[in-house]
Structure 1
Amino acid sequence: MAEIIRPSTVLPALRTPFHVLTSDGVDLIGEVASPLGQSKGAILTLHPLPTAGGMMDSHVYKKAANRLPAMAGISVVRFNTRGTSSEAGTSSGAFDNGGAEGLDVQAMINYCFDVLALENLWIVGWSFGTDLALRHAKDPRHQGLILLSPPLRTTTNEELFYWNSDPRPITAIVPEHDDYLKPDAARERFAIVPKLRIIPVDDAKHLWVGEPSVHRVLSEINTIVTGDTSPLPLEY
Structure 2
Amino acid sequence: MDIRASTVLPAKREDIELNTADGLTLVGELALPESGSPAATLICLHPLPTHGGMMDSHVLRKASYRLPALADLAVLRFNTRGTTSDRGTSQGAFDGGEGERYDVAAALEYADFHDLPRPWLVGWSFGTELALKWGRDPLVQGAILLSPPLHRATDADLDAWAEFDRPLIALVPEFDDYLQPEEATRRFSRVPQAEVVGVEGAKHLWVGEPYVRIVLNEIVKRVNPSAAPLPTAV
Q: TM-score normalised by the shorter chain: which range applies? A: over 0.9
Residue 8 of structure 1: aligned partner: 6
Other-structure match for 1:76: 75
Instruction: Give the whole-Å Cα distance in 1 for the aligned partners of 2:29 and 2:228.
Output: 28
SS in 1 for 2:98: coil
Check the 8 A contact 2:71/2:227 in 1, yes or no. Answer: no
Other-structure match for 1:154: 152
Contact 2:166 2:193 in 1 (8 A): no
Given that 2:70 and 2:227 are in contact with CA atoms closer than 8 Å, whether structure 1 keeps it comes out as no
Alpha-carbon distance in 1 for matches of 2:210, 2:131: 25
- Say whether the 8 Å CA contact 1:216–1:231 is kept in structure 2: no
Structure 2 length-normalised TM: 0.97
Residue 107 in structure 1 maps to residue 106 in structure 2? yes
2:125 corresponds to which letter in structure 1? S
Alignment TM-score, normalising by the size of structure 1: 0.97
Change (3 A) 1:10 1:229: closer
Q: SS at 1:203's partner residue?
A: coil
Q: CA deviation at 1:141?
A: 1.0
Aligned to 1:226: 224
RMSD after superposition:
0.9
**Stretch of structure 1 that moved more, 221-230 or 28-37:** 221-230
1:2-151 to 2 correspondences below 5 Å: 3-38=1-36, 39-114=38-113, 116-151=114-149
**1:23, 1:103 within 8 Å by CA — same for their partners in 2?**
yes
Residue by residue over 1:39-60, the C-alpha shift from the partner in whole angstroms, topping out at 9 and shown as x without a partner, is 2111000000000000000000
2:18 maps to a residue whose letter is: V
Q: Are the equivalent residues in 2 in contact too, given 1:46–1:126 (CA < 8 A)?
A: yes
Alignment deviations for residues 126-154 of structure 1 (CA, whole Å, 9 cap, x no partner): 00000000000111012011101000110
| Offset at residue 229 of structure 1 (A) | 7.0
Identity %: 52
Q: Using the alignment, how far apart are the partners of 2:225 and 2:233 within structure 1? A: 20
Q: Distance in 1 between matches of 2:158 and 2:137?
A: 15
Aligned-partner residue type, residue 4 of structure 2 = R
Cα distance in structure 2, aligned partners of 1:67 and 1:146: 17
Contact 2:169/2:195 (8 A) holds in 1:
yes
Matched residues in 1 for 2:83 and 2:163: separation?
32
Aligned residue pair count: 233
Q: Does 1:167 align with 2:173?
A: no
